[in-house]
Structure 1
Amino acid sequence: MSDSQLLVTTTEKVPGIEYEVIGEVFGLTTQSKNMFKDLGAGLKSMVGGEIRSYTKMLEESRQQALDRLRAAAREQGADAVVMMRFDSGSIAGDMQSVVAYGTAVRYTTNVE
């Protein structure tokens, strides 16, 4: 199974599957926009509305954090990650950090 096929769920239980807990896993990324996009975002903030370059950056950051979470779980021999959550925050005003975290588990029942 590839990392992209590793089950990640926000629920605690996977219906019909028994598993043992391996431990916590994380996927983290920190992104920054370049000076020109920051300038455009600053101008947009004066008139209101969605700042698409930042929306795209956050979408990409979430996907990258999720990919890293799956890779970290696979390194620990996990079959899935349960109770996955995202968290984000600003760093130094011009960077955005996104973390995906959850509990890596190994199946104890056969999964077809």
Structure 2
Amino acid sequence: MIDPTMVTTSTALDGHRVTRNLGVVRGITVRSRSILGNLAGGLQTIFGGQISIYVELCEKTREEAFRFMLQNAAERGANAIINVRYDANEVMNGVTEVLAYGTAVVVEKG
């Protein structure tokens, strides 16, 4: 697995030079909110402020997509990922797709 410190949203990794570009890699996951989660989230909206149940769901979903992206890059032989981005789309009501993607590369110090 790729060390998360070797992942950046930048087009370069400080202190390293790209020796090989292995192409776009991605990690995708699709999640839905449970009925109980929707109920709890709905109750939290009554009082305003941060809706912690949805924050937790979003964070777990992004983390899962990120891990899948790392795995995809490692399978290609990469030791770093540059230009990382996230995207999310609602597939259907209450079902969201989250995509983490970037460019898998091999880097060397220097």
- Tell me the TM-score normalised to structure 1 length: 0.85
Aligned to 1:35: 35
CA contact (8 A) 2:2 2:73 kept: no
Secondary structure of the 1:18 match is strand
Q: Secondary structure at the match of 1:105?
A: strand
Note the aligned Cα RMSD (angstroms).
Answer: 1.8
Counting aligned pairs with the same residue, the percent is 31
Give yes or no for contact 1:22–1:76 (8 Å, CA) kept in 2.
yes
Aligned to 1:21: 21
Q: TM-score, normalised by structure 2?
A: 0.86
Give the equivalent residue in structure 2 for 1:9: 8
1: distance between equivalents of 2:79 and 2:3?
9
Unaligned ranges ≥5, structure 2: none
CA–CA distance in structure 2, aligned partners of residues 4 and 43 of structure 1: 40
Match of 1:55 in 2: 55
CA distance in 1, matches of 2:2, 2:77: 14
Equivalent pair of 1:4/1:67 in contact (CA under 8 Å): no
Contact 2:28 2:98 in 1 (8 A): yes
Shift of 1:91: 2.2
The residue type equivalent to 2:66 in the other structure is: L
Counterpart amino acid of 2:10?
A: T
Q: Secondary structure at the match of 1:10?
A: coil
> Which residue type is aligned with residue 50 of structure 1?
Q
Q: Which residue of 2 aligns with 1:75?
A: 75
Cα offset for 1:62? 0.9
